[in-house]
């Protein structure tokens, strides 16, 4: 486990979806750190990390929202236990105020965790709810099993989750807040959490990944290490994809990308400046956006075609008006075999 738990506290927001009333159950002390507590936070953190598309943004200034002000007090208090407890209780009161009178939003348990992941200090807040499951209960008298229900925390499906990269916040290093992006049907509910946290200039992982890939496609081709000659475009695209997929914690570091392909040159930064674009030095990438950028799927009249940009650029697939030509001896041979088999029937 690459996670180290420093502090943990849990409060409850009592609210039904059809009610406008929100109540709090606030605890007075932190939960002692233990293997079980650390495993819980690790599970919640991984559930957030595995989300494909999350919102990334900045905290608004402490003068503009309650949460950022309380967060600054937490940092001013050196992340002490006293400051951590006070931060959690004050932000819970702010959430209650934000949800008072709101129909549709549901309550749950708010898990506040101060932890480090790969030596990066994090503050995570996770809204977790109970769910029911089924367990087998052995009935030795009857010589059979009975089905009983059990209530447990649903750590696989988070109603809300965010984490703040404390090191990034302290250093002013780009977007420091990650927040689960909900479906459009839950957009209104998500807005309350966005406003509660004070998230500014949110941009999704998908949007940032798309910007990065568009920039990469416009860069000059890097030189091959062995020959010094420009790399083929299709090979460069494949290596960019491999670089992203192999990046730890699904995070692309622009500086590492430039070092990997261009040595001491900074073509990404130069391109961004020349074209008036913005991209964080480090950001979570979206796997689906990566795959869609390099691979395409089209279908019509029950014909399905999967291809990538290399097939178009090399002329292996040619579009002429409303006709498509595919140059592939292997495909032609397979289709001829099918035609031959059908003729023999």
Tens digits of pLDDT across the chain (345 residues): 689 999 999 999 998 878 888 899 999 999 999 999 999 999 999 999 888 778 888 998 888 889 999 999 999 999 999 999 999 999 999 999 888 777 777 889 999 999 999 889 999 999 998 887 887 888 888 888 888 877 767 777 887 899 999 998 988 877 899 998 765 545 555 677 888 999 888 888 888 888 898 898 889 998 888 888 888 887 888 888 888 888 877 788 899 999 999 989 899 989 999 998 888 888 888 888 877 777 777 888 888 887 777 787 778 888 888 888 999 888 888 888 888 766 655
* Rounded-to-integer distance, Cα 7 and Cα 78, Å: 13
Concatenated DSSP letters of 20-77: S--EEE--SSPPPP-HHHHHHHHHHHHHHHT-SSEEEEEEPPTTT-HHHHHHHHHHHT
Q: Domain limits of the chain?
A: 3-127+154-197, 206-292, 296-344
Concatenated DSSP letters of 224-261: PTTT-SBPPHHHHHHHHHHHHHTSGGGEEEHHHHHHHH
Dihedrals phi, psi of 268, to nearest 5 degrees: -65, -50
pTM: 0.73
């Amino acid at each position: 486990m690459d996670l180290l738990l420093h502090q943990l506290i849990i409060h409850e927001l009592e609210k039904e979806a059809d009610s406008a009333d929100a109540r709090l159950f606030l605890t007075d002390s932190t939960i002692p750190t233990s293997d079980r507590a650390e495993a819980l936070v690790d599970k919640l953190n991984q559930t957030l990390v595995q989300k494909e598309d999350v919102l990334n943004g900045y905290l608004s200034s402490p003068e503009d929202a309650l949460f950022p002000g309380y967060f600054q007090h937490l940092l001013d208090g050196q992340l002490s236990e006293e400051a951590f407890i006070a931060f959690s209780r004050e932000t819970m009161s702010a959430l209650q105020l934000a949800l008072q009178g709101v129909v549709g939003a549901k309550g749950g348990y708010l898990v506040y965790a101060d932890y480090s992941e790969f030596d990066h200090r994090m503050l995570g807040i996770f809204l977790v709810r109970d769910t029911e499951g089924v367990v087998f209960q052995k009935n030795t008298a009857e010589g059979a099993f009975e089905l009983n229900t059990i209530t447990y925390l649903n750590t696989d499906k988070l109603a809300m989750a965010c984490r703040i990269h404390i090191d990034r916040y302290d250093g002013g290093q780009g977007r420091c807040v990650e927040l689960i992006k909900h479906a459009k049907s839950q957009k209104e509910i998500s807005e309350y959490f966005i406003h509660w946290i004070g998230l500014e200039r949110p941009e999704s992982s998908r949007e940032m990944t798309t910007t990065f890939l568009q920039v990469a496609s416009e860069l000059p081709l890097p030189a091959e290490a062995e020959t010094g000659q420009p790399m083929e475009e299709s090979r460069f695209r494949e290596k960019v994809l491999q670089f992203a997929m192999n990046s730890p914690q699904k995070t692309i570091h622009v500086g590492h990308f430039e070092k990997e392909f261009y040595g001491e040159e900074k073509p990404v930064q130069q391109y961004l400046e020349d074209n008036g674009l913005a991209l964080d030095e480090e950001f979570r990438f979206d796997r689906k956006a990566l795959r869609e950028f390099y691979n395409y799927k089209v279908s019509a009249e029950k014909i399905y075609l999967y291809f990538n940009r290399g097939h178009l650029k090399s002329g292996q697939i040619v579009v002429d008006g409303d006709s498509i030509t595919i140059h592939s001896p292997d495909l032609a041979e397979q289709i001829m075999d099918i035609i031959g088999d059908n003729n023999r029937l």
